[in-house]
Structure 1
Amino acid sequence: MTLFVRLIPLLSIACAGLAACEPAKTPPARMLAVAKIDGVEISEPRLRLPPNGRDVTAGYLTLTNSSDKAQKLVGASSPKAQRVELHAHLKGADGMAQMRQVEQVEIPAKGTAVLAPGGLHLMVFGIKDPLKAGDSFPVELTFAGNRKVGFAMPVVENPSQKTEGDTGHGGHPH
């Protein structure tokens, strides 16, 4: 019995090792586009649930450009918000990162631009109706040349209950 008790940890390690070497049963899912325009695919859209009844939040997505020329995202809007702006975290003169509105987001030829927490993102101001996780939020993106494409962003929980709009926008004129 003592030998058996001593072998249990070794058997557990061996089984775990075999499981780790096992090939994946399914390949990773390809990002599915929710909208396309002139070679640009929009995928992984999500809008953070505004915290504490606020009407400001951030939206994120991935823009993949399959064309041979760079594309430019120049604006966004929603019938469910007063305004939607393109934002980025930029270093100020003091070296501190601050959120600022940007005029455009470039999507390189055969490349990708990711709008994600801590980087480029959409800022949504003046949300007209209260949102809850699982809702769909309509958004229209505008690309250079006044080319527009609309789609729905799912509203997702925000575990930290803090959005891009919680800091850096106090007294912000835009």
Structure 2
Amino acid sequence: MLKKALLLATLCAGALNAAAHEYQAGQLHIDHPWSRAMPPVAPTIAAYFVVHNEGKTADRLLGADTPIAARAELHEHVHGADGMMKMQQVQAVDVPVGGEARFAPGGYHVMLFELNRHPALGERFPLTLHFEKAGDVQVEVAVQADAPAASVPGMKMEGEHKH
């Protein structure tokens, strides 16, 4: 009986660790930063989150950095002229007044290059987001097996892209 109780407590703790986490920076509200757990040989990982602008002025995400990677870039998926999905780096992402900037598989994301370590499933790692008006905001990115259910409505999740 005690073993079952300990197992249940361990499983619940893991579920709570993966539960949504939020950050507030002035008028910006950042929901559940996450990354998909990747094998140790993966050359890159991506981070996802949603930035809501609850204020009266627009803002822009200008970049990001993290101690687990030498380089972080803002990227987006776009449809090429040939109909194929491609990734491209963007210099900034607008966060409109009363709107949001959604970083999700198949859309905007923060790509992390030259990893000095691969965070494990259930772990969190720091990511600093650099906003034009709100300034620097440090968040903790939860490493998960799959995307949160609300991350990309109606979209089937596929593996991370390679560069």
TM over 0.5: yes
Residue 110 of structure 1, aligned match among 98, 109, 126:
98
Aligned equivalents of 2:71, 2:36: Cα separation in 1: 16
Query: Match for residue 12 of structure 1?
Result: none
- Greater C-alpha radius of gyration: 1
TM-score of the pair, normalised by structure 1 = 0.70
Q: Secondary structure at the match of 2:46?
A: strand
For structure 2, list consecutive stretches of 5 or more residues without a partner in the other structure: 1-18, 148-156
Pair 1:89–1:118, CA change in 2 (3 A): same
Query: Match for residue 59 of structure 1?
Result: 47
Residue 126 of structure 1, aligned match among 110, 114, 123:
114
Native 8 Å contact 2:59 2:133 kept in 1: no
Q: CA RMSD in A?
A: 2.3
How many pairs does the alignment contain?
Answer: 136
Aligned equivalents of 1:81, 1:90: Cα separation in 2: 24
Aligned equivalents of 2:43, 2:83: Cα separation in 1: 29
Q: CA deviation at 1:61?
A: 0.2
Native 8 Å contact 2:28 2:134 kept in 1: no
Residue 92 of structure 1, aligned match among 80, 86, 100:
80
Paired amino acid for 1:65: N
TM-score of the pair, normalised by structure 2 = 0.74
Residue 41 of structure 1, aligned match among 11, 16, 29:
29
